[in-house]
Structure formats: C-alpha cells, structure tokens
Structure 1
Amino acid sequence: MTILVTGFEPFGGEAINPSWEAVRRLNGDMGDAHIERVLVPMTYADSIGTVTEAIDRLHPAAVVMVGQAGGRAELSIERVAVNCDDAQAPDNAGVLREDAPIAAEGPTAYLATLPVKQIVAGLRSAGFPAAVSNTAGLFVCNHLFYGVLDHIITHNLETRAGFVHVPFLPEQVVGKPGTPSMSLAMIVAGIDGIVAIVTSNARP
C-alpha cells in the first residue's frame, strides 16, 4: 500500500516551512505502507498538478497533504475544502487571486475523505494537541486541497485524501510575541500517527 504525503516550500518571507521539514523526515516504510513524499510549490499554477501527477503515477491508497498555518497551536485536521481562492498575499510566483473559483464547474466544497474525527481522537489519545478544523483558509493550501479532491472525484479514483495544518516551528516565532509553535519532533511524530491511522483505515 502506498501513502502519498506532501509538504510545501517556504512562503511569506519564512526561511523554512514546517510542513516539508516534517514530511521529508518521515520513514519511507511504516508497516505494510510505503510512504512517498512530494514537495509542493507554493503557487496556484503548479501546486495541484504537482500532486495529481504523483497520484496518477503512484496510485496511492491515500494522500495526506500538510501545510503551515502560522498562529495555530495544534495539529488541525481539515474537514472541508472550498471552491474559492481569496488571499491578501500573493503566492510565490507573485500571483494574487481574489474571489476566484478553483474549478469553474466544480461544487462549492468538498469534504475530506480521510477519517477526520478518528484521526483527531487518535492523536489526542497519544498526547498530541489536535482538533478538527472547518477552514483551510483561501490561499494555496485550500487551493491544493480542493484541486486534489476534485481530481480524485471527477476521475472516479479510489484514493482518499485530506489535509493537515501544522503550527510554526519555535525558530519561526522569534520576534512574534504570543505566537504559538510546535517542535519539529512533535510535528513529525504527529504526522507519523496520522499516516498510521490512515493506513489502518485504508486496509480492506
């Protein structure tokens, strides 16, 4: 069984992105699951295609997309992706999108097809701060989340997919008083736990 896990490149003036720093440190194999990792560009134009190409090539049982959400204090398991790009900041290509649909003919929203509440319960029982989130934002993270679900559903694929937002790393909050952070070791362990739950859920 293959599980695809993705993380983003740095953006917004940050030198690192905890999503990719964690994803690239995951073990390549977890039990009977083989983990494939993909670095995603923080751009509207290339993010979706980077991941859907990997899906079509690898045929994973599940996709766990990971992104940075500065200001959050816990592992946020996203429930819903909405068909709208609307951010005040440009992506890494300098593109600014406001009130723009992601898929012109697509539905207003898609729900994650990973077991969101089961993941949160499993993380909490293992001692990780985690919660269900009902907004993945309207920037490139949500753009990717929606686009991947749209690809899976419109192509009738069996792959399940979901999105996880992680906090800043401690070194990213220097000079940002009151901003929460989480250690890289905890983020890596949390994603390991998510992959284990997803793998167990994906077995026949």
Structure 2
Amino acid sequence: MDARKTVVVTGFEPFGEHKVNASWVAVQELEKLGLGRDINLFVKEIPVEYKAVQTLLPSLWKQHQPQLMVHVGVSGMATTVTLEQCGHNHGYTRPDNSAFCPSSQCCIDKGPDCLLSAIDMELVCKRVNSSSLGVTVSVSEDAGRYLCDYTYYVSLYQGERRCAFVHVPPLEKPYSAEDLGRALKAILREMLKILEEQAEHKDNCKHEH
C-alpha cells in the first residue's frame, strides 16, 4: 500500500485575453518541482466550461481520493498570489468558452450560499510571507463569480472542504513562471502541514474525552 499522500492540482485552459493561461503554466512549473518524495502529485488542465467542471471534478475526487485538491486560476487584476478562502454558489451570469451559462446561475441546486475551505488561508499567508520566498501572498474572500469561483465551490462541495483555490497574476506581472511554481510549492506544503495539524488536534481531542 502506498503510504504517500495524494495531491491534485489543476490549472485552466486559455480564455478571453489570456491567450496563455498563467495558471496552467504555473501548475506545470510546480509539476517539475514536485512536492517532495512523500507526496504523489497529479496535475490536470481544466476547460473554462461550466459543464466540464461539473463532470470532471467529481471524477477527480473519486479517482485520486486526494488529501488535498488545489485549483489555480489567473486573475488579470492580481499583483500578488492570492489565496481564496471561500467559494460562492450564486451569481454566475458570464458565458464560458463554449458560450454557455447555467440557467440557474448557480453551482449546486439548494447548496449553501458560501462554502469555506477547511484550511485557514490567513495562516498559510502568514507562514509563506514570513519565509524568504520573494513572492507576496495575500488572502481574498471573492473568487470572482466566473469559472474560478464556480470550480472552487463545486470542489469544496465534493471534497468535504479539503480544497483550496489560488489566483496567480498574469506571467511577468510581476512574477515569472518559475516564481509562480516555487510559490505554489511553498503554499501547498504549508496547506498540507495545516491539514496534518488539524488531524492531530482532532485525534488528541478524541483521546481526551
């Protein structure tokens, strides 16, 4: 039996003005670096399409059963690497790459309005920013009500919130592909540490009662 942990990381295909999607480039850089010998890393490029997300994400969770799934997207407004704390269920009015938009304008029918990641993004941010990474990390609570937010919500719903979303700026604005790959590696290692700490805390609480 493989004792290593499994992490799945996704990036998006090109869309709109993003002829090269920095998110997928950053994920490919992360794949080159790896997350260490104790982690099985799987990467996947996701279409910028609502229907594709609805079918792809449940199959990724089922197939890999990861300890953590992290989705990476690009934000033209971002100048830092941004950790998203929550995904939103409603407000999807922007057509995707195939000119489709969900008629319900929501991710999951009758799902909660907002789902929070099990990971404390402020803590991840603090730890990464106090290292000598050279890439600034910030936290947001609005992933933008497009495919990024949509993907995050669907994944949080599927994966019992063991999930994160990271927005990266476009390439060279200000970070290179290599910088973004290094940043993702540092961020994911911290996220895994935090999930481990939470699991240990739960075990300790159980033994105390």
Q: TM-score, normalised by structure 2?
A: 0.83
Are residues 1:191 and 2:184 paired? yes
Aligned counterpart, 2:167: 165
Deviation at 1:182, TM superposition (A): 2.1
Distance 1:77 1:151 in 2: 19
Aligned counterpart, 1:142: 149
Are residues 1:30 and 2:36 paired? yes
After alignment, is 136-145 or 27-36 more displaced? Answer: 27-36
Aligned counterpart, 1:174: none
Deviation at 1:98, TM superposition (A): 7.5
Distance 2:130 2:69 in 1: 23
Task: Compute the RMSD of aligned alpha carbons.
Answer: 1.8
What secondary structure, in the 3-state scheme, does the structure 2 residue paired with 1:81 have? strand
Distance 1:43 1:146 in 2: 14
Deviation at 1:71, TM superposition (A): 1.4
Deviation at 1:33, TM superposition (A): 1.2
The structure with the largest helix share of the pair is 2
Distance 2:58 2:141 in 1: 23
Percent of aligned positions that are identical: 26
Aligned counterpart, 1:70: 76
Residues 33-60 of structure 1 deviation map (CA, whole Å, 9 limit, x = unaligned): 1111111111011124212211111110
Once the two structures are superposed, the pairs formed by residues 71-150 of structure 1 within 5 Å of their partners are 71-88=77-94, 90-97=95-102, 100-126=105-131, 127-150=134-157
Match among 26, 51, 55 for residue 49 of structure 1: 55
Structure 1 residue runs of 4+, over 6 Å off? none
Larger Rg: 2
Amino acid corresponding to residue 36 of structure 1 in structure 2 = F
Aligned counterpart, 2:6: 2
Contact 1:166-1:187 at 8 Å conserved across structures: yes
Distance 1:87 1:69 in 2: 18
